[in-house]
Structure 1
Amino acid sequence: MQRYYAGNVPDNVSGINRSSKRYIANNNEKDSEITQHLLALAARWKRFGYRRLHIMLKRENININHKRTYRLYKSAGLILKKRSKKKKYEKRGMPERNFTKANSRWSMDFVSDRTRYGANIRILTLIDEATRECLALEADSSLSGRRVCAVLNNVAIFRGMPKEILTDNGSELTSNYMNAWAYDHKVAHIFTVPGKPTQNGYIESFNGKLRDECLNQHWFKNLTEAKKTIEDWRQSYNKI
């Protein structure tokens, strides 16, 4: 009887030529179900990448490895196209950041939009740099320095006062109201250098997500609808 050892097995031991062998993957009904969930989530959250969709799947009690999520995400053609920058920006300096505790520093800025009928919408964005939580999204047709201080006070009722607050040099943020608010509450108010928004990189990054995932996905009929939609997005953002 002829014997074969490891490394000495002939190609036709199974009666099939080696060149004709192919691996045929079994259809996985579970993968199909998960893909349908991904498609439904991606239809609602159009600018979410696979990492954030993976978290959304977990909320629906679909506990799979993130690598599997990415494989299904990619095979479903859901990969987002990266928007290439037309201009390269040199790296600039920014205020020191080594915060690990909440309320070490808040960052604040403004974002603008319009309703479908052309009415202005101005949004005050406020985040905690340590936790990256969005503390407030105050939307209105206009926002004065006094209104900004009122928003900060409302947030502080539940959060406490920050040690520092970082903003640009907008008129509302350099107003007498803001100056008095920072002095009265012993909050250090730090301003970025004019023309260098990257010095407030955390809020700039957040503003990009707000515009990409919320403002660009809706065409608001009026200010009331805008306020509700923006606040719903804020609450969802903080849960992810």
Structure 2
Amino acid sequence: MYDRVAIAKRWIEKGYNPNKVLNSVGLAASTYYHNISNNTRKADQKTKNRVGRKIPGYSMTRTGEKVSDEQVKEYLSELIAGDGFPYGYKKLTISLKEDYGLIINHKKVYRLCKELNILRPQRKINPSRPKNLAKREKVTAPNQQWQADIKYGYIAGTDQFFFHLSLIDVFDRTIIDYHVGLSCKAIDACNVLKNAIRKRGLVPGMKMPVVRTDNGPQFTAKIFAETCEKLNIEHERIPVKTPNMNAYIESFHAILEDECYSRNEFRDFAEAYRVIAEYMDYYNTRRIHSSINYMAPEEFYQQIISRQITGQPLVA
């Protein structure tokens, strides 16, 4: 019957008399139009259920490397905080192409700017949270300066990125706390900071460390500023395009890439989480550093606070 309906439909669409066509193929008019109506509804439903192309979640560089959308958002935040202001999304697109070598169009930049709420008509400057720029300072003991940053990893098995936020004590090189997840929001950065305070046994009334970060959205968020204020922690942010001001956490992430990420092709997030957790334990408790008397970070920290040894001052 469906073949006869299709044949009749084809001839009727060509302009032949419907009654003659239906009589010739042996179909009742009610049967024909009932089937045509059902097919139309099914086609409309398929069109309604059809979704657009899945957003890949990354952009490519001119050298063929994948850069996650979250990393692009960080670039945009830095451009807005620095030379990008008061650029609109089209000028930001040019800056991303020239400064970071991205292959990206203005439509995607518009979408990412909208997600960050930094489109020009929406941009707000809050004078109650002024930017505290980082300055070179001498560090002579643990818990004087901590540095935090986010590294992006890739899961080959599921073709998705994950986030690794780490907090390092620049004096003893310990990664005090970290977050690994498929997302990384300001609340996650706040939790890492709170956990680090707890692990180091710092309580109200004690001198708190200075926390240094870049200008990523997790660190410029209102909730992160409020958490630092509540903990009586001074938060300073490095100037735009000066990663050397965050050298200790950048150095750790380079080690992490060389000794962990580049040696593993993760099948899924569970495997990535397990491998990273094992490496972080190794880094803190067993990996020796020439800059801290050829000790592991936690051993060096324990000997410093028990005054068995004295470390060399450094400038960070």
TM class by shorter chain equals 0.5 to 0.7
* Contact 2:176 2:199 (C-alpha < 8 Å) held by counterparts: no
State the Cα deviation string for residues 143-189 of structure 1 (Å, max 9, x = none). 11011101211222121354200000000111011100111111110
Provide the C-alpha distance between the structure 2 equivalents of 1:160 and 1:127, rounded to a whole number of angstroms: 16
Aligned residue number for residue 95 of structure 1: 135
* SS in structure 1 of the partner of residue 192 of structure 2: helix
Aligned sequence identity (%): 27
Provide the C-alpha distance between the structure 1 equivalents of 2:236 and 2:143, rounded to a whole number of angstroms: 14
The 5 A counterparts of 1:1-240 are 95-116=135-156, 117-161=158-202, 162-239=208-285, 240=287
Distance 1:160 1:175, change over 3 A: farther
Task: Give the structure, 1 or 2, with the largest relative contact order (CA under 8 Å, sep 6 or more).
Answer: 1
Provide the C-alpha distance between the structure 2 equivalents of 1:171 and 1:177, rounded to a whole number of angstroms: 11
Provide the C-alpha distance between the structure 1 equivalents of 2:236 and 2:271, rounded to a whole number of angstroms: 34
* Contact 1:126 1:135 (C-alpha < 8 Å) held by counterparts: yes
> What runs of 5+ residues in structure 2 fail to find an aligned partner?
1-133, 203-207, 288-316
> What runs of 5+ residues in structure 1 fail to find an aligned partner?
1-93
Q: Tell me which moved more, 170-179 or 130-139.
A: 130-139
Query: What TM-score do you get using the length of structure 2 for normalisation?
Result: 0.45
Provide the C-alpha distance between the structure 1 equivalents of 2:245 and 2:179, rounded to a whole number of angstroms: 23
Between Structure 1 and Structure 2, which shows a larger proportion of helix residues? Answer: 2
Query: What TM-score do you get using the length of structure 1 for normalisation?
Result: 0.59
* SS in structure 2 of the partner of residue 173 of structure 1: helix
Q: Which has the larger Rg?
A: 2
The total of aligned residue pairs comes to: 147
* Contact 1:115 1:221 (C-alpha < 8 Å) held by counterparts: yes
